[in-house]
Structure 1
Amino acid sequence: MTYFAGFILLAGAMLLGVPGTTFADAADSYAVPRARLVREIAAMAAQDQAETGKPSISPRVMESLARVPRHKFVPVEHEQRAYENRPLPIGYGQTISQPYVVALMTDLLQVKAGDRVLEIGTGSGYQAAMLAELTEAVFTIEIIEPLAWRADATLKNQGYGKVQVKAADGYYGWPEHAPFDAIVVTAAASHVPPPLIQQLKPGGRMVIPLGSAFMTQQLMLVEKDGQGRVLTREILPVSFVPLTGKR
């Protein structure tokens, strides 16, 4: 099965309970659909454990998923669909990724409190908000300037003001803030950008979709060991919008 970060909805899974999940605002009118989405993602994680090697997504990530208001990160005309487990358009030919894919990528990074995390492809700011629930040092780069500034404003409005947003070509990373404990790339690349490998700490993790644009790609886990050797592992087939820039 291919999971779509930027195009169409995949079939949903059966709903399961997620013990210990809490919600930020009981009066939130989206609390019920958000809870339903969290249960669906828990079920999908169990379904995919043979491929991912993980029977579940960590409680910290699931709690972040339950707290972040996805409806604040989509255009107003799509707000009512914000808690469907599917990508949605955000303008400029870009999308907010399928929530299951966001949760899985976040989980694979294994972010701890105090980690420095770099995101390539800010988009709506939703992935950055998920990361900011796990650590305060989040840096995110978006090549489309209007999206970068809109995401920056949204993040600030939702209480994620410590996330640093930059409008630039993410292929080259953000060397001023390197090295990073974790790097997530939210657009498909033909190869792992060497600058990102250089900026990843020994012992660090990167999650990146690799493959041709507008075709099925492979979500890859890239790990850099203590000696600087790079190990890669395929996780799932996915479909992301392409990583753009002049190279």
Structure 2
Amino acid sequence: MRRFEDSYKQKGLRRQLVDSIRQKGITDENVLTAINNIPRHFFLDTAFEGIAYEDRAFPIGEGQTISQPYTVAYQSQLLELKPYEKVLEIGTGSGYQACVLGELKVNVFTIERQKKLFDQVKQFPFKSKYPTLRFFYGDGYEGLPTYAPFDKVLVTAAAPQIPEKLLQQMKVGGKMVIPVGGQEVQRMLRITKVSETDYDQEMFDNFSFVPMLAGKTL
């Protein structure tokens, strides 16, 4: 059975990682502290432990990746999170981003469509540190209407367009952060729900995500 240990070396590498993403423009100290507090190597296969704190994405199986730490920090910063807000995350993946949100003391409802990844995260002991995380197996395009409305929505996969059902599940005044675009490059957008029918849209930097797919897998 795998043992989860966080050595002084790994903690030191994590501090270096935080310094590097601060230099790249991340200014939210709460987000930086969250990145520093979470052992990223716990979320990766042991083969990646030696390079877990490089600022890049790594495969986690099922054609999915654990996002680059800078990307995780960038999206988290754009959400402008406040403690105890309800956050809908589309694309649980390894669970790393969900735990960053948990470290920021928000209530997380996270959806994964890949059954194998969902089962792995459900059995992941580290997640028990964050009792505000709730995990769901389902179609991200459908959201979680039973638990709506949400203060914030975070999409961690490339969407060809903004999903209408996710907009409907936001509170008025709520924000969605989502990468939108083609397969190679997407533009990061922040959507603010001004009223039940009106939205403001802000455009930020370009990123590259795995595609957001519909439906569930067996």
Q: Which residue of 1 aligns with 2:185?
A: 216
**Residue type at the aligned position of 1:115:** E
CA RMSD of aligned residues (A): 1.9
Please say if residues 72 and 154 of structure 1, whose CA atoms lie closer than 8 Å, have aligned partners that are also in contact.
no
Q: How does 1:58-73 map to 2 (within 5 A)?
A: 58-73=28-43
Q: Which residue of 1 aligns with 2:14?
A: 34
Residue 117 (structure 1) aligned with residue 87 (structure 2): yes
Which one of the candidate residues 56, 64, 77 is aligned to 1:94? 64
Count of aligned pairs between the two proteins:
212
Question: In the TM superposition, what is the alpha-carbon distance from 1:227 to its structure 2 partner?
Answer: 5.7
**Residue type at the aligned position of 1:79:** E
**Distance across 2 between alignment mates of 1:243 and 1:27:** 35
Question: In the TM superposition, what is the alpha-carbon distance from 1:154 to its structure 2 partner?
Answer: 2.2
Residue 197 (structure 1) aligned with residue 167 (structure 2): yes
Percent of residue pairs bearing the same amino acid type: 40
Partner of 2:158, secondary structure, is coil
Please say if residues 129 and 155 of structure 1, whose CA atoms lie closer than 8 Å, have aligned partners that are also in contact.
no
| TM-score, normalised via structure 2 length | 0.91
Any unmatched runs of 5+ in structure 1? 1-24, 46-55
**Distance across 2 between alignment mates of 1:226 and 1:155:** 40
Give the direction of change, closer, same or farther, for the CA distance of 1:159–1:136 in structure 2 (3 Å limit). Answer: same
Which one of the candidate residues 169, 182, 196 is aligned to 2:139? 169
Please say if residues 187 and 240 of structure 1, whose CA atoms lie closer than 8 Å, have aligned partners that are also in contact.
yes
**Residue type at the aligned position of 2:174:** G
Q: How does 1:45-194 map to 2 (within 5 A)?
A: 45=25, 56-154=26-124, 156-157=126-127, 159-194=129-164
Q: Which residue of 2 aligns with 1:244?
A: 213
The superposition leaves residues 93-133 of structure 1 with CA deviations (integer Å, 9 ceiling, x where unpaired) of 10000100100100100111110001000000000000001
Please say if residues 116 and 135 of structure 1, whose CA atoms lie closer than 8 Å, have aligned partners that are also in contact.
no
Question: In the TM superposition, what is the alpha-carbon distance from 1:74 to its structure 2 partner?
Answer: 1.1
Please say if residues 178 and 190 of structure 2, whose CA atoms lie closer than 8 Å, have aligned partners that are also in contact.
yes
149-158 vs 223-232, which moves further: 149-158
Residue 234 (structure 1) aligned with residue 194 (structure 2): no
**Distance across 1 between alignment mates of 2:53 and 2:6:** 16
**Distance across 1 between alignment mates of 2:196 and 2:212:** 29
Question: In the TM superposition, what is the alpha-carbon distance from 1:234 to its structure 2 partner?
Answer: 1.1
**Residue type at the aligned position of 1:36:** Q
Question: In the TM superposition, what is the alpha-carbon distance from 1:35 to its structure 2 partner?
Answer: 0.4
**Distance across 1 between alignment mates of 2:9 and 2:110:** 29
Give the direction of change, closer, same or farther, for the CA distance of 1:189–1:26 in structure 2 (3 Å limit). Answer: closer
Please say if residues 125 and 152 of structure 1, whose CA atoms lie closer than 8 Å, have aligned partners that are also in contact.
no
Answer 1 or 2: higher relative contact order, Cα 8 Å, separation at least 6: 1
Any unmatched runs of 5+ in structure 2? none
**Distance across 2 between alignment mates of 1:74 and 1:119:** 20
Please say if residues 33 and 83 of structure 1, whose CA atoms lie closer than 8 Å, have aligned partners that are also in contact.
yes
